[in-house]
Each structure stands twice: as C-alpha cells, then as structure tokens.
Amino acid sequence: MSELKTVVCPYCGFGCRLLVDPRSMRVSPHKGAPNYGKLCPKGLHATEFVLSGDRLKRPLKRDGNRMKAISWGQAIEEVAQKLLEIRELYGPDAVAFLASSKVSNEENYLLQKIARLFGTNNIDNCARLCHEASVHALKMTVGAGAQTNPYEDIPNFNAVLIWGYNPAETHPVVMDYILRAKRRGAKIIVVDIRETRTMAFADYKLVIRPGTDIALANAMMHVIIKEELYDEEFIASRTVGFSELRMATKKYTPKYAERVTGVPAGTIEEVARTFALAGSGAVMWGMGLTQHVGGVENVLAVIDLALLLGYIGERGGLYPMRGQNNVQGAAYMGALSEFLPGYIPLTDERFRKRVASLWGVDDLPTERGLYLTELWDAIEDGTVKGLYVVGENPAVSEADFTRVRGALRKLDLLVVQDLFMTRTARYAHYILPASAFCEKEGSYMNSERRIQWSHRVCEPVHDSKPDWEILMMLGKALGLPGFDYRSVEEVTAEYFRLFPSLEERSVEELKNSDGIFLPRKRLHTWEFSTPDGKARLVAVEQVAPWEKPDAEYPFILTTVRLISHYNTGEMTLRSPSLVRLMGEPRVLMNEGDAEKLGIADGDWVEIETRRGRIRMRAKVGKAPKGLLVLPFHFKANKLTSDALNKAGTPEFKFSAARLRKLRNE
C-alpha cells in the first residue's frame, strides 16, 4: 500500500479528515480529531466524483452556441482584458466576484484580494444563503460571528438543544458527540417543523408550526424568567438588556405559544425547566432558523435563551452548524461583501489600511459590496456587467432560479472556474477547469474554527489547475501587486499575518497538527467580543413569513438536505455509490393530505408556487398536515421565494405552494 495522504472532506462543515490511498484512491477515516475514526457515506466515497469522466479538460471560450478549447495563456489574458474593459467603461463595481465555500482558505483569500485591489467589495460567497443570519445575530449579541466552542465540549454538557437542525442527516458525524452526551445522561431536546431522523434520539421532540420559532423561544424564556431559573449573576455581570428582554417576553405565555406553535403549554414549561435546570447546555441550530425573512431574529432568540442561562464558555456553547467544508474559512478570509478578513468591518480604518499596506496599496474600497442575493437585480438593471464565479452554481442554488438564469444570460462577461460543466457554466463566456480537493494543497476551516491542512494526493487531471494558481495568474494579468507567490504555503503565511493569534504560528506547524483554532478553542469564556466585553440580550418579536398559504396555494413548501447528497448535486450525482444509496428524490407529504388529493406513495405529482412548477414522485409519510418537504439539491429552487432577511438570506424554508396528482406518467 502506498503512503496514505490526509485530506479534508470536501463536503460538510463538520470537517472530517480522510486518509486517501494515492494508488487506489480508496478513502478511510483519520483516527485523529475531529472525526476520530468516523465518516459518513459522503466522506467514504469522496474521491468518486474526482475520477468522473465529466471533468472539464481544458479552458473553454464561447463561440456562438459552441464552446471551443483555448490555451491557459489566451484564457487568462482575455478574461483579464475584458474585466479591465468593463472597469474602464463602467467602474469597478460593475464587476462582481463569487467565491466558494468549497475551495481552500488560500483560494478565498486570493479572490477577495483580487476583488478589493480591482476596486470593489462585490465579493461574496454562499454563506449568504445559509448562516449569514447567524453571523449577524452573533455579532450583535456576543460580538463574534462564529461557533463559540469546539465539538469536544458537546459530550460534557447536560443538555443539548437542537433547533431547526437535523444533524443525523446533515452532519452525521456530529451525532456521535451528541450521543456521547446522551449516554452521560444529557437531555436532548429537538425543535423542528417535522419529525426528523435526529428526533429518534431526542428526550423531547417539539414539532412546531413553520415560522413560529420565536414564539417558542420567547415562551421558554418567559417561563425561565417567571420561575427565576435564569443565571442572575451572569446576567448582572456579563450582559446588558435583561429588562427589555423580560418586558418583551411577558406576553409570550406558554398558553399563547401553544396557540401559535402547536406545542402544548405543559410541554413548553417542562422543556424550559429541563433546559434551565440542566446547569450546562449547547444550543445547536441550522438553516431551519436562518432561512426565513425573520432569520436574524430567530437566531437572536435562541442566543438570548443560552445567555439567559449563562450557557457560554465552560457551561455552554453556541453552535451554528455550517453547511460546506470551508464556509467558515471563506468568511474568515474576507470573501464577504461587508467584511474584511476576520469579519472586520470595512469601516475599521486602522485594519483596512493595514491590509492595504500588506497588499502594497494605500487603501481599499470602503462601501459595502453587493450581497450574492442582491446581484441578480443589479445585473437585470445593468449595474453589474461582469461576474467571475469560482466553484459555485447559482443557476441551481439560488432561490427563484428562473430569474437568476435570466440575469446570467444578460451579462457581458461570465467566467466560471469549476470542475464540471455546471448549470451555471452553460451560460459562461469563459470556463476555466479547476483541480479537485485532493489534487491540490491548502487549508480549510471547519465549523468549530479549526484550520486543517489538506495534502495533495494526486496530480491534477487533464489540463486543470488548482484554483489558487488560476487566481494568481489572473491577479498578475490584471496588473495587481503581490501575486508572485512561489507556493500555496506563501499565501497561507500571508493570511496568517492578518490574524494576531496566527502571527507566531508556522505553516509547517499547521501541517503537522490536528489543526489550529482561530483565534482559540473557546470564545467569550471571560468576556465577550463587544466593545465593553458584555453580551447584548436582544429582545425580538415573531416575524411573519413573507408569503402565506391561501386558497390558491394552500400548502407550505420547505426544503431540506439529504444525507447522501450535497448542494446542487454536481459532486454527489457523479458519485455512483451515493446515487445508489439515495435512489430517486421525492417530495414528502402528509398521509391525510395525500388521501384527500387521491395521491398514493410513489405517484407523480406537480408542485407549483408563484415562481414555477416541477414534477416529482410523492413520498407519503411522516409530514405534518399542510407541509411539503422537498430536497433542495435538484430543482427545488425553481419554486423557492427570494424574499430576503436582514442578512440577505432568502426564505428558502417557507413558500406557499400547491400540488396536484399527474396522470398517465
């Protein structure tokens, strides 16, 4: 057997490390942190898509309806030229850059460096679609937009509150940590809008009506405050805003919350007491909270709940569980339109000038750039003319994708850097073939802020190149300073210089470790990252969904993730083992609803919203009445609503829909 190489799993944000045999490309689990010998099916089959015959072979340029192969030299030269022409004619903000939560820290760092040196903050990544509401809420309350504690703390807590999050399906390996807590006697409380796989392990299963999370959280706080179960000393010494929170939660009695959420008042009281009296607890949440027009408020409510009990540091943690393997890293590297690296605001002149000087210029643009979700309007109205996309597939991943596809068609220049001819790449003027995760080196940051090194297993296939090499060539061709890197490690060393806790660390140390936490394992143990060191309790009211079911569209449509699939399916649908595991995707619906419409399990149905319609087979089973549950990996976003919350995330989780049985299929 050849020497096994350690790589970071290319899928979810849990960040398992894989051992890959370079000859057979077979995967086995790493025995060290964070996965300790465990992997889910996606990790086990992670190299299958790399070997797919569909990989892009060489750079392509649009020639009418055809794409013709060109050299790297010509591709980079022409792309740079066209970007500069757009800047000359319309200014730097007429170009936008879309970074990727799947490529390394170094690659995200380079793309945002290109964007900002080019003169625009139009740089964003798909964190906008998932946890940007968490980032905003965490910054407002505790001052830092990231998970507060490592996974290793979870088994030590006496309660785990899992809200709008289904780890058994989305981050299977984290379930091991949760179950270790359960075996120690911790109470597991799961809140969701349907019975999930995770609920099978719960002590308390709270199935709430869609969009009523705040009513439940506020009612739990109402009970905790009324029965004086909160941590008085913690509230007094480490927080501000308690009186406002007490006032705001007064009307959220358990009886009131029962009417809104559907959860019996007695259960709300019992769960509130159980969580409060546990003495320590984790709050874990997912997109069930964030992908609503009230996404920021939803997250604020569960953070308030944890703060009320002092569940921070040794006694608890806030766990916004990230979706993609480097979504946390992309954000920390500054691939967001409102933040410089490290989530530092663009208005922080001292830091901005420090970054500028490291990059060899006097200053950087200060105006917030466009959110990814604001791009489509900007393209439609002609403000944005050029888009450079690295490893993302907005033609499938964006809400109301028919509109997005229309916008992509309007661009003067669309460049797509990817592994495959994605749905987005079909609209491109230039396509640049990128190397897969195991064909290159670099660092990635998982959900717990652990930076891990991923080693090269094999050479890039065909004429593909690592993303960082492509971006280095582009930076040089654009005439930007500071793109003369001799290795990816030089990029790593450069971003280390922007983070005080990394300044003294070396790339070698990172390579030989189980990872380095940025900035440290636990946040806020003694003080919060706010100007006065105190956390803010921010009282919130229930926010109504943007679209309500009515006589025409009587169902609520929500979207979910499946264990064997990932995002827009470009990787997992090219993995034969995963395709076999999952079978055909179906829309889950309630038995009574199905009976009324004469639909049997396996029947073809048409699901329609105000944005479009799709066909799929029905799965009749455990869904609450009136709810349709659709996997988001395929064509669900033809239907979803692009109403945005305060952080720019669409309301993927709530659309008014109708459904009918199809005959003669």
For ligand SF4, which stretch binds (CB under 6 A), given 36-44, 184-192, 248-256, 513-521? Answer: 36-44
Q: Which is nearer to ligand SF4, 11 or 109 (CB)?
A: 11
515 binds ligand SF4 (CB under 6 A): no
For 112, the enclosing helix (H) or strand (E) is helix 105-118
CB atoms near residue 580 (< 10 Å): 10
Q: Which is nearer to ligand SF4, 12 or 627 (CB)?
A: 12
For ligand SF4, which stretch binds (CB under 6 A), given 4-12, 429-437, 596-604, 653-661? Answer: 4-12
Tell the smallest beta-carbon distance from residue 242 to ligand SF4 (Å).
38
39 binds ligand SF4 (CB under 6 A): yes
Q: Which is nearer to ligand SF4, 113 or 561 (CB)?
A: 561
Site string for ligand SF4, 584-613 (x = CB under 6 A): ------------------------------
329 binds ligand SF4 (CB under 6 A): no
Q: Which is nearer to ligand SF4, 171 or 423 (CB)?
A: 171
Q: How many residues interact with ligand SF4 (rule CB under 6 A)?
A: 14
Residue whose Cβ sits closest to ligand SF4: 43
Cis, bond preceding 576 (omega within 30 deg of 0): no
Q: Give the separation between CA 289 and CA 212, rounded to whole angstroms.
A: 10
Site string for ligand SF4, 127-166 (x = CB under 6 A): ----------------------------------------
For 289, the enclosing helix (H) or strand (E) is helix 287-290
Tell the smallest beta-carbon distance from residue 3 to ligand SF4 (Å).
21
Q: What is the dihedral of CA 534, 539, 542, 545, to 10 degrees?
A: -40
Q: Which is nearer to ligand SF4, 12 or 474 (CB)?
A: 12
Q: Which is nearer to ligand SF4, 204 or 437 (CB)?
A: 437
- Mapped onto helix, strand or coil, the DSSP state of residue 517 is strand
Q: Give the separation between CA 61 and CA 79, rounded to whole angstroms.
A: 10
563 binds ligand SF4 (CB under 6 A): no
40 binds ligand SF4 (CB under 6 A): yes
Phi-psi group of 201: left, alpha or beta (phi > 0 → left; psi -120 to 50 → alpha; rest → beta): alpha
Site for ligand SF4 in 59-118 (CB under 6 A): none
Angle at CA of residue 629, ends 589 and 207, nearest 5°: 85
* Residues whose CB falls within 8 Å of the CB of residue 584, separated by 6 or more in sequence, listed in order: 617
238 binds ligand SF4 (CB under 6 A): no
Tell the smallest beta-carbon distance from residue 2 to ligand SF4 (Å).
22
Cα end-to-end span (Å), the chain: 51
Query: Residue type at 178?
Result: I
DSSP string, 432-472: EEBPPGGGS-EEEE-TT-EEEEE---SPPPTT-B-HHHHHH
Site string for ligand SF4, 525-554 (x = CB under 6 A): ------------------------------
For ligand SF4, which stretch binds (CB under 6 A), given 37-45, 234-242, 358-366, 537-545? Answer: 37-45
Q: Give the separation between CA 470 and CA 96, rounded to whole angstroms.
A: 17
Q: CB burial class (10 A; 0-12, 13-18, 19+) of residue 314? A: middle
Tell the smallest beta-carbon distance from residue 336 to ligand SF4 (Å).
23
Pairing of strands 281-285, 239-240: unpaired
Tell the smallest beta-carbon distance from residue 437 to ligand SF4 (Å).
11
- Mapped onto helix, strand or coil, the DSSP state of residue 154 is helix
Tell me which of 20, 33, 43, 307 binds ligand SF4, using CB under 6 A.
43
CB 106 within 8 A of CB 442: yes
Tell the smallest beta-carbon distance from residue 231 to ligand SF4 (Å).
33
CB 212 within 8 A of CB 259: no
Q: Give the separation between CA 273 and CA 255, rounded to whole angstroms.
A: 16
Q: Give the separation between CA 120 and CA 96, rounded to whole angstroms.
A: 8
For ligand SF4, which stretch binds (CB under 6 A), given 5-13, 123-131, 200-208, 447-455? Answer: 5-13
Helix/strand number for the chain, H first, E second: 23, 28
Tell the smallest beta-carbon distance from residue 43 to ligand SF4 (Å).
2
327 binds ligand SF4 (CB under 6 A): no
- Sheet strands (E) in 59-194: 60-63, 66-69, 95-98, 123-124, 159-163, 187-192
Tell me which of 7, 30, 42, 139 binds ligand SF4, using CB under 6 A.
42
User: 3-state SS string over 43-95?
Assistant: HHCCCCHHHCCCCCCCCEEEECCEEEECCHHHHHHHHHHHHHHHHHHHCHHHE
450 binds ligand SF4 (CB under 6 A): no
Q: Which one-letter DSSP state was computed for residue 4? A: P
Tell the smallest beta-carbon distance from residue 42 to ligand SF4 (Å).
4
Site string for ligand SF4, 168-207 (x = CB under 6 A): ---xxx----------------------------------
Q: Which is nearer to ligand SF4, 11 or 485 (CB)?
A: 11
437 binds ligand SF4 (CB under 6 A): no
Q: Give the separation between CA 159 and CA 43, rounded to whole angstroms.
A: 28
9 binds ligand SF4 (CB under 6 A): yes
16 binds ligand SF4 (CB under 6 A): yes
For ligand SF4, which stretch binds (CB under 6 A), given 13-21, 263-271, 505-513, 636-644? Answer: 13-21
List of residues contacting ligand SF4 (CB under 6 A): 9, 11-12, 14-16, 35, 39-40, 42-43, 171-173
